[in-house]
Amino acid sequence: MTEHEPRPTADRDQAHKTREDQRQHAVQKDGAQVSTGIDTAGVPDAAIPELVIISGMSGAGRSTAAKCLEDLGWFVVDNLPPALIPTMVELGARSQGNVARIAVVVDVRGRRFFDNLRESLADLEAKHVTRRIVFLESSDDALVRRFESVRRPHPLQGDGRIVDGIAAERELLRELRGDADLVIDTSSLNVHELRAKMDAQFAGEEEPELRATVMSFGFKYGLPVDADLVADMRFLPNPHWVPELRPYTGLNEEVAAYVFNQPGAKEFLDRYAELLRLIAAGYRREGKRYVTIAIGCTGGKHRSVAMSEKLAARLAAEGVETVVVHRDMGRE
């Protein structure tokens, strides 16, 4: 039979069946073809790539976070439609180990995209794919300033104002933020500080069981929006009212000694560390890998700084990889 002669009916039927088999894990949804599963048959579990999904508020630093992971050797895909995430994982699984870590930036700008993302996340969980969600957060004021500085509209503002687009996006992403493994508030961070935070979480060759950020802050500057736990040190006398200690911070040995010589300071450290051991065990059982512990005082200069340093040392001694951040130190 020559190449121009038609194939027998049986051959055409078999070819049609093969094409149908190749498409049987896809369905039509909202006019687009959407993957409904990850076909990893015959692929060893070790070959399935690690997955990080980067999302969050527009203007909060998603691109910077993605570039940081790219510099760390991750395979990064920007603005991938959520429905294609399982397909991306499947391609990585079949790369024979060449794509071991995938980071996907998801820009959820509509309800249909959000529904597709939920379906993809459920699919990944059913296939036991290790995935983490990083959510970039920022205050409304900071986002407005960033959009105004580049003279660009918010993607969801339509005919309204920038704040209208921010409010719409925040409401749309509320559920995803609640599911996030790591929330990073970039309101007061520059590009380099955001990269440092991403490096601290992802640069290690081996993934620790739990990573903690201990953050001192001042209540007069507002609560950290990305805090999982908050403790108040204002029950201790304030070194600010001791003239010889006022110019220094909680990093100073004399200030720290003053703080921990106060009634209740050492007891708080011991009991709070014990409480954190209990909480950490629960976080591990639930698969939560990151925790931000905020320690506050009035100005974030003395008591909270001293307590944060001691608490971080306790956590590190117990095998928890710990980063210390003094958010408001130096603002006065």
> Of 157, 173, 207, which one is at a domain's C-terminal end?
207
- pLDDT the model gives residue 236: 98
> What pLDDT was estimated at residue 287?
60
Domain endpoint, select from 192, 207, 222: 207
Domain boundaries, position 192: 34-207
Q: Are 129 and 136 in contact (CB under 8 A)?
A: no
180 and 262 part of one domain: no
Q: Is the same domain home to 78 and 183?
A: yes
Please check whether residues 251 and 325 belong to one and the same domain: yes
In a domain, 321, yes or no: yes
Give the number of domains in the chain: 2
Instruction: Determine, yes or no, domain membership for 247.
Output: yes
Same domain, 219 and 324: yes
In a domain, 117, yes or no: yes
Domain with residue 198: its CATH number is 3.40.50.300
Pair (280, 308) in one structural domain: yes
For every one of its 332 residues, what pLDDT tens digit does the chain have, with 9 covering 90 and above? Answer: 333 444 444 444 444 444 334 333 333 333 333 343 445 455 555 578 889 999 999 999 999 999 989 888 899 998 888 888 998 898 888 887 788 899 999 886 656 777 788 888 888 888 888 889 999 999 999 999 999 998 888 888 888 999 999 998 999 898 889 989 999 999 988 888 888 888 888 876 544 467 899 999 999 999 998 899 999 999 999 999 999 999 999 999 999 999 999 999 999 999 999 999 999 888 877 767 789 999 999 999 999 999 999 999 999 998 888 999 999 998 87
Final residue of a domain: which of 178, 207, 236? 207
Q: Are 106 and 57 in contact (CB under 8 A)?
A: no
**Do 94 and 79 share a domain, yes or no?**
yes
191 and 229 fall within a common domain: no
Q: What is the pTM of this model?
A: 0.57
Question: Which of 326, 17, 50 minimizes the C-alpha distance to 207?
Answer: 50
pLDDT of residue 44: 52
Specify whether the CB–CB gap between 224 and 198 falls below 8 A.
Answer: no
Residues 130 and 233 in one domain: no
For residues 220 and 134, membership in a common domain is answered with no
pLDDT at 23: 36
Cα→Cα distances 17→5, 40, 43, Å: 21, 21, 24
| Together in a domain, 179 and 322 | no
The answer to whether 155 and 170 have CB atoms below 8 angstroms apart is no
- Decide if 17 is inside a domain: no
In a domain? residue 63: yes
Say if residue 196 is in the same domain as residue 271.
no
- Is residue 23 a part of any domain in this protein? no
The one-letter code for the residue type at 247 is P
Nearest CA to 276 out of 326, 216, 217, 322 is that of 322
14 within some domain: no
Whether residue 226 is contained in a domain is answered as: yes
The helix/strand/coil state of 184 is strand
Examine the domain organization and report whether 96 and 201 are in the same domain. Answer: yes
